[in-house]
């Protein structure tokens, strides 16, 4: 994978981690985005808090999806800018951190922010579940 392609995939994975992990990720992301500057860390923390607040404020699923898409793009751009502006040694470190975040928060590099299902056909009883650490008990039929 070319460096630019990998950086693009990792920027997308970072954005997905912001949306998937919420507060569990924000302190670490702020440190990463701040690059050792307390003022930049504080500004990043504020932007992460605004993302979390916007997601909480969404009134229904359609609005939540719109907000997720909008914020995913904002964070993808922010991580891409971070990687582009960094020197070679710092970029290597940042890319390693984004890979770690992607593994930890289940947002593989290049994966879309949020679950995706496409081209499926179901015949008969069907259950589809998405989300991290979710649990369902499914009973088909009248014995339920």
User: DSSP for 46-111?
Assistant: HHHHHHHHHHHH--SHHHHHHHHHHHHHHHHHHHHHHHHHS-HHHHHHHHHHHHHHHHHTT--TT-
State whether residue 4 is helix, strand or coil.
helix
Cβ 91 vs Cβ 83: under 8 Å: yes
Question: What's the pLDDT at 118?
Answer: 46
d(CA 71, CA 20): 12
- By C-alpha distance, which of 69, 68, 43, 46 is closest to 57? 68
Question: What's the pLDDT at 92?
Answer: 92
End-to-end CA distance of the chain: 49
- pLDDT per residue as tens, the chain (144 positions): 577 778 888 888 888 888 777 666 778 888 889 988 999 999 999 999 898 899 889 888 889 889 989 998 999 999 999 999 999 999 999 999 888 888 887 655 544 444 445 456 667 777 766 555 556 677 777 764
Question: What's the pLDDT at 1?
Answer: 56
Q: Computed over its alpha carbons, how large is the radius of gyration of the chain? A: 18
d(CA 32, CA 25): 11
State both tokens at 33: 């985005």
43-68: burial string, b at 16+ Cβ within 10 Å, e else: ebbebbeebbebeeeeeeeeebeebb
Question: What's the pLDDT at 17?
Answer: 80
């Amino acid at each position: 994978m070319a460096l630019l392609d990998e950086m693009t995939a990792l920027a997308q994975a970072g954005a997905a981690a912001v949306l998937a992990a919420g507060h569990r990720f924000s302190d670490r992301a702020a440190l990463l985005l701040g690059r050792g500057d307390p003022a930049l860390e504080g500004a990043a923390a504020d932007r992460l808090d605004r993302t979390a607040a916007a997601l909480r404020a969404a009134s229904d699923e359609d609005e939540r999806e719109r907000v997720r898409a909008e914020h995913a793009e904002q964070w993808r751009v922010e991580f891409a800018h971070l990687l582009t502006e960094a020197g070679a040694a710092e970029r290597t470190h940042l890319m390693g951190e984004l890979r770690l975040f992607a593994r930890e928060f289940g947002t593989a590099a290049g994966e879309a922010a949020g679950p995706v299902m496409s081209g499926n056909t179901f015949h008969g009883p069907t259950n589809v579940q998405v989300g991290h650490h979710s649990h369902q008990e499914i009973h088909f039929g009248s014995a339920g």
